[in-house]
């Protein structure tokens, strides 16, 4: 450890503040500083994806999804796939990750072209995912998992509040379809009777293609369920942030 610190002090003195910040944030001294510097480099300051944080963001997103999925799986042992998927979507949405990135003061060392882009929650959320990717590459999955749980989930995510957070999937899906000039329609696929209860099965179509379905005792609620399925299937939350 002393040898590592000596190396940083001697050869990377201009980066000492970043190393100190990372050590305080992550709880360990980075072994490969370059991968963390890359995690903070926005595409506006880079010629291609190889020299920006986009690839690390991709990796960090996968690690974050894995850790949160396991965390929710263990926290809610009797809840179904739909509930777990919805809870994960509420946690990893870009706005929330951007707010957490701001709380962690990621903007202090974020390298972006101030003349071309405005710092926002999307950029900070992407940087947070890139940082997770950097931790995974530099220190392994276990360290990345500890970081996610202790620095993101525990201090900033209240699962009880998230359970009560109602997402209007149908409204958001319509907003998405208008932005990307897609035609969103709903159609009753089937009406069935279960134990003398009438059930509607409704399909959600994008440009005429069936993308999801839902069922409920009335058409309105069935449309909501179909919208939720399509919303999660197409990852609408992520596409609306660009």
Domain boundary among 163, 188, 205: 163
Phi, psi of 104, deg, nearest 5: -85, 0
pLDDT, average across residues 154-169:
85
Contact 106, 39 (CB under 8 A): no
Claim to verify: residue 50 and residue 13 sit in the same structural domain: yes
Of 61, 86, 138, 223, the active-site residue reads 61
Domain boundary among 115, 132, 163: 163
Give pairs for 81-86: CB < 8 Å, separation 24+.
82/228, 85/232, 86/167, 86/228, 86/232
Is this prediction's pTM over 0.75?
no
DSSP 198-242: EEEEEEEEETTEEEEEEEESSHHHHHHHHHHHHHHHTTHHHHTT-
Claim to verify: residue 89 and residue 206 sit in the same structural domain: no
Helix (H, G, I), strand (E, B) or coil at 157: coil
**CA 95, CA 89: separation in Å to the nearest integer?**
11
Claim to verify: residue 18 and residue 112 sit in the same structural domain: yes
Claim to verify: residue 177 and residue 159 sit in the same structural domain: no
CB atoms within 10 A of CB 198: 10
Percentage helix, strand, coil for the chain under 3-state DSSP, each rounded to 5: 65, 15, 25
Higher pLDDT, 50 or 122: 122
Claim to verify: residue 134 and residue 26 sit in the same structural domain: yes
pLDDT, average across residues 197-201:
88
Claim to verify: residue 191 and residue 152 sit in the same structural domain: no
Catalytic (active site) residue 61: yes
Which CATH number covers residue 157? 1.10.1520.10
pLDDT tens string 52-99 = 889 999 999 999 999 999 999 999 999 888 788 888 888 988 788 999
Of 57, 129, 223, 225, the active-site residue reads 129
Claim to verify: residue 23 and residue 139 sit in the same structural domain: yes
Q: How many domains does the chain have?
A: 2
Domain boundary among 106, 131, 163: 163
Within its chain, how far is the Cα of 1 from the centroid?
A: 33
* Nearest Cα residue to 123 out of 54, 65, 33: 54
Catalytic (active site) residue 65: no
Which CATH number covers residue 176? 3.30.160.20
Claim to verify: residue 110 and residue 195 sit in the same structural domain: no
Range of the domain at 183: 169-239
Claim to verify: residue 97 and residue 217 sit in the same structural domain: no
Claim to verify: residue 158 and residue 179 sit in the same structural domain: no
pLDDT of residue 140: 96
Claim to verify: residue 127 and residue 209 sit in the same structural domain: no
**CA 127, CA 98: separation in Å to the nearest integer?**
8
Task: For CA atoms 221, 225, 226, 230, give the dihedral sign.
Answer: positive
- Tokens 């220190």 belong to which residue? 139
Claim to verify: residue 63 and residue 146 sit in the same structural domain: yes
**CA 148, CA 88: separation in Å to the nearest integer?**
13
């Amino acid at each position: 450890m002393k040898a590592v610190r000596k190396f940083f002090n001697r050869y990377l003195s201009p980066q000492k503040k970043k190393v100190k910040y990372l050590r305080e944030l992550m709880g360990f001294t980075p072994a490969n500083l370059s991968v963390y510097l890359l995690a903070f480099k926005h595409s506006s300051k880079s010629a291609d994806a190889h020299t920006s944080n986009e690839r690390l963001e991709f990796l960090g997103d996968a690690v974050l999804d894995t850790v949160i999925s396991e965390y929710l799986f263990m926290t809610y042992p009797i809840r179904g796939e739909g509930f777990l998927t919805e809870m994960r979507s509420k946690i990893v949405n870009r706005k929330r990750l951007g707010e957490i990135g701001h709380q962690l003061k990621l903007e202090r060392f974020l390298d972006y072209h101030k003349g071309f882009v405005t710092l926002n929650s999307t950029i900070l959320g992407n940087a947070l995912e890139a940082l997770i990717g950097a931790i995974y590459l530099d220190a392994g999955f276990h360290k990345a998992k500890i970081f996610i749980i202790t620095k993101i989930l525990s201090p900033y995510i209240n699962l009880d509040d998230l359970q009560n957070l109602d997402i209007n999937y149908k409204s958001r899906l319509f907003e998405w379809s208008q932005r990307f000039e897609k035609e969103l329609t709903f159609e009753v696929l089937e009406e069935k009777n279960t134990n003398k209860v009438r059930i509607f099965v409704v399909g959600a179509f994008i440009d005429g293609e069936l993308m999801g379905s839902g069922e409920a005792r009335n058409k309105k609620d069935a449309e909501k369920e179909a919208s939720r399925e399509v919303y999660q299937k197409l990852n609408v939350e992520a596409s609306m942030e660009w």
